[in-house]
Structure 1
Amino acid sequence: MTELLGIPPQLLFGQLLLGLINGSFYAVLSLGLAVIFGMLNVINFAHGALYMTGAFVAWLLLSYLGIPYWAALVLAPLVVGLLGILLERTMLSRLYKLDHLYGLLLTFGLALIIEGLFRNAYGVSGQPYPIPSWLQGGFNLGFMFLPVYRGWVVLASIVICFGTWFLIERTRLGSYLRAAVENPQLVRAFGINVPLMMTLTYGGAVALAGFAGVLAAPIYQVNPLMGQQMIIVVFAIVVIGGLGSIMGSIVTGLGVGVIEGLAKTFYPEGSATVVFVLMAIVLLLRPHGLFGRTRT
């Protein structure tokens, strides 16, 4: 098929791999956004900046403390999650009963502040982060070359995404979270600390962004603009999948990445806008997104 179209199979599968890698980051980031909006009813525009913070924390741990990648994969999300808890307790918790616009403006301002701090400290030139030795090299599959690290990124992202989905949709803790959104007074009557639950939910969701940042550090150079370049596409993916839909964010994130890879092969000029074209079509046909439901 590819030979009939004049496209070498290696090029097609290589672009599909790149698309799947991008889709993995889209899925993890949009998952965090969906959790925050679905559980806290907040549009978190600071998500891209926290993704960048996760990458920078991993780089700082390696550069100044000699802490390697595998430890950073645990420590960096914890640091970002604690930062998220601090932001939620001091700022966001005051806005839950207000219009969405207030949360959007606050988180947009926080994103500018975080990016500005890192830009002033390290400039806009990227900082390299080495691929860990265990994940260097690759496999020749015949029709394409698969780098080990990129395969690891896809696998880790899928495990994290579906693990989060299972936690929220199939466990008792997840049922408490969903009940706290629908009827917080009833959940409090059972002795559950709803504000603490909301705080930990926000911290866990932004920790996902920090985890994605660590995964991205060896692929993309660590720089203050990396989150800014990602967040608009991720918001479009959340809208396509359905605001607050966890499964919608996962499936749409991976799917959009693959579609982008195909677009770069067959129509490179349109690859940067394909996600927004998809968003427009979905909103025309299904205003609540592919997996979304009306919010009452």
Structure 2
Amino acid sequence: MDAITPQLFALQLFTGLALGAVYVLLAVGLSLIFGMLTIVNFAHGAFFMLGAYAGYSVYQYSGSFWIGLVATPLATAALGMAVERFLVRRLYGRGIDYPLLLTFGLAYVLVELVRIVFGKQGLPMETPEVLQGAVDIGIGYFPAYRLFVIAVTAAVLAVLWFFIEKTSFGLIIRAGARDPQIVQILGVDVSKVWLAVFGAGTAIAGLAGMLSAPLQGISPEMGGTVLTVAFVVTVVGGMGSLPGAIAAGILVGVAESLAALFYPEAAKVSMFVIMALVLLIRPQGLFGRSGLLS
């Protein structure tokens, strides 16, 4: 404990921000789908995993990390839209359990397909050369790639905020999340909105998977691990709340990072402690509203 200096503490905070950035992307995609469609997407972790493998494949064939960074969310969005159009849409109006069970089974199918194509062994993904090394941030040297992850997350959130708050389609999304029947009465084709929202949510999950690949490697099981984190962050922030997903993702990431510094054995438990405390004080989460699941 005596060896922990203010500089080390500050650097660990930045490490928590980088970890929280990945958690934010995961939870934002999950909350976007739930907030609009009221679907608990258990395949979200599988789309995260597919994003890592898609990014790896594009990187290997093209030799460009940047092409993979663009192609990965487009590929996962296309798959997500196909899933919504041909599978999930058939279950609207049948209760929340039906799409939950469908996506739960779909996650297993996607994992097994990846094992068949890529094998069961994990794969390493190199950090692009320009993002290797460390950068002096004033309080010490910090990995350049982790700073890049934070910057990309901030850019994605800014674009998402502008799209939802400042465009006509974003207005339709916000209105549809509150009362889809009224939106339909006004002549809006809500099915196209559902398709776009599901595609956007899976695109963000895929992007998060590719960004995390150089940090943790790639394996077919990686989606199952982060799915737990994604749901914890989403519950802490409030189901369906995008501001809640952002705040909770940063909170959980920083808490896990600081716990690893002071008491490593409690690092992974810290998120569940936070969730328990939040739910005891505010059952609907930090920014959530009650009644979404009723």
TM-score by structure 2 length? 0.93
| Pairing of 1:14-33 with structure 2 (within 5 A) | 14-33=11-30
User: What's the CA shift for 1:141?
Assistant: 4.3
Report whether the alignment pairs 1:53 with 2:50.
yes
For residue 189 of structure 2, what is the amino acid of its counterpart? N
For 1:57, the aligned partner's letter is A
- Counterpart amino acid of residue 169 in structure 1: E
- Is 2:283 aligned against 1:291? no
Match of 2:140 in 1: 144
Give the equivalent residue in structure 2 for 1:116. 112
Aligned-partner SS, 2:229: helix
Q: After superposition, give the CA deviation of every residue in 1:54-110 in whole Å (9 maximum; x if it has no partner).
A: 1101111122x2251111111111010000011001111122212222221111111
Instruction: Report the Cα offset of residue 228 of structure 1.
Output: 1.2
User: For residue 238 of structure 2, what is the aligned residue in structure 1?
Assistant: 242
In structure 1, list runs of 5 or more residues that go unmatched: none
Shift of 1:142: 6.0
Structure 2 counterpart SS, 1:146: strand
Aligned 8 A contact 2:46 2:111 in 1: yes
Tell me how large the CA RMSD over aligned residues is.
Answer: 1.8
Count how many residue pairs are aligned between Structure 1 and Structure 2. Answer: 292
Identity between Structure 1 and Structure 2 (%): 41
> Is the 8 Å Cα contact of residues 59 and 67 (structure 2) preserved in structure 1?
no
Residue 234 of structure 1: CA displacement?
1.2
After TM superposition, the structure 1 = structure 2 runs for residues 122-271 of structure 1, keeping only pairs within 5 Å, are 122-141=118-137, 143-271=139-267
Aligned counterparts of 2:153 and 2:114: Cα–Cα separation in 1: 26
Q: CA deviation at 1:255?
A: 1.4
> 8 Å contact 1:165–1:247 — kept in the other structure?
no
C-alpha distance in 2, partners of 1:183/1:261?
A: 40
Q: Which amino acid aligns with 1:126?
A: G
Alignment check: 8 A CA contact 1:27 1:161 kept:
no
Q: Distance in 1 between matches of 2:273 and 2:47?
A: 27
CA–CA separation in structure 2 for the residues paired with 1:144 and 1:112: 43
Q: Tell me how far apart the structure 1 counterparts of residues 190 and 138 of structure 2 sit (CA, whole Å).
A: 54
CA distance in 2, matches of 1:73, 1:19: 23
Paired residue for 2:274?
A: 278
CA contact (8 A) 2:34 2:239 kept: yes
